[in-house]
């Protein structure tokens, strides 16, 4: 007669070790899969945020140029400043202008004109503006970091015949609008993405020849 199996007997040590090994393997595999997915998502988010920053900086430049105002301003010493000026230089590239249609939802006591400047500082594209167009000597601008990882800011001005790497004509102080460029070309040389180029026409009878 065959004896009945002992129902009180449990798993053997080998069976327990094998079960623990399989469970640990499943946990490690799940962790690696989750970590890989999270790492991939972080990379996607980094790229997306970078693209958003580039788009915001480019849109800011284009919009400011599109709203270029015909009003010259006075600097901190009382001297009149041209409507538009700038230059391309490895050490000191900049673009300076006065734009209109500056929104004022808080109804602050200021004009809808804004005098501003773009320049590079330690590889970062900066935008600086002043609360008042005609500013005092000691007035400080409001600075904002627009885009990091910028190797070079290149500004060019089209006079109807050729592209110039600077625009410092003093004749615009007398509102000689023929001395305004017909277009401005901005090139941002980025560390990883290469060159981003935008050409903005200078619209309107006030400016274009």
**pTM score of the predicted model:** 0.73
- Tell me: pLDDT of 178 over 70: no
User: What domains can you pick out in the chain, each with its CATH number?
Assistant: 61-201 (3.10.610.10)
Q: What angle do CA 58, 61, 64 make, to 5 degrees?
A: 145
CA atoms of 197 and 28, how far apart (whole Å): 47
- Tell me: pLDDT of 204 over 90: no
Task: For the beta carbon of residue 62, count every other beta carbon within 10 angstroms.
Answer: 15
CA atoms of 92 and 102, how far apart (whole Å): 27
pLDDT at 2: 56
Rounded to the nearest integer, the mean pLDDT of the chain is: 81
| Three-state DSSP class for residue 31 | helix
């Amino acid at each position: 007669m065959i004896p009945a199996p002992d129902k009180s007997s449990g798993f053997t040590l080998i069976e327990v070790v094998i079960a623990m090994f399989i469970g640990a393997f499943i946990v490690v595999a799940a962790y690696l899969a989750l970590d890989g997915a999270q790492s991939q998502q972080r990379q996607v988010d980094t790229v997306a945020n970078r693209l958003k920053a580039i788009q915001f900086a480019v849109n800011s430049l284009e919009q400011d140029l599109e709203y270029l105002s015909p009003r010259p301003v006075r600097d901190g010493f009382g001297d009149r400043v041209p409507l538009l000026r700038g230059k391309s230089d490895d050490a000191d590239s900049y673009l300076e202008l006065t734009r209109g249609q500056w929104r004022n939802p808080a109804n602050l006591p200021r004009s809808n004109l804004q005098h501003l400047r773009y320049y590079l500082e330690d590889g970062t594209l900066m935008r600086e503006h002043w609360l008042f167009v005609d500013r005092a000597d000691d007035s400080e601008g409001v600075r904002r970091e627009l885009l990091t990882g910028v190797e070079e800011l290149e500004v060019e001005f089209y006079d109807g015949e050729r592209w110039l790497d600077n625009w410092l004509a003093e004749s615009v102080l007398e509102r000689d609008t023929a001395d305004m460029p017909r277009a401005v070309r901005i090139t941002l040389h980025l560390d990883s993405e290469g060159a981003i180029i935008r050409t903005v026409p200078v619209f309107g009878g006030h400016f274009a020849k």
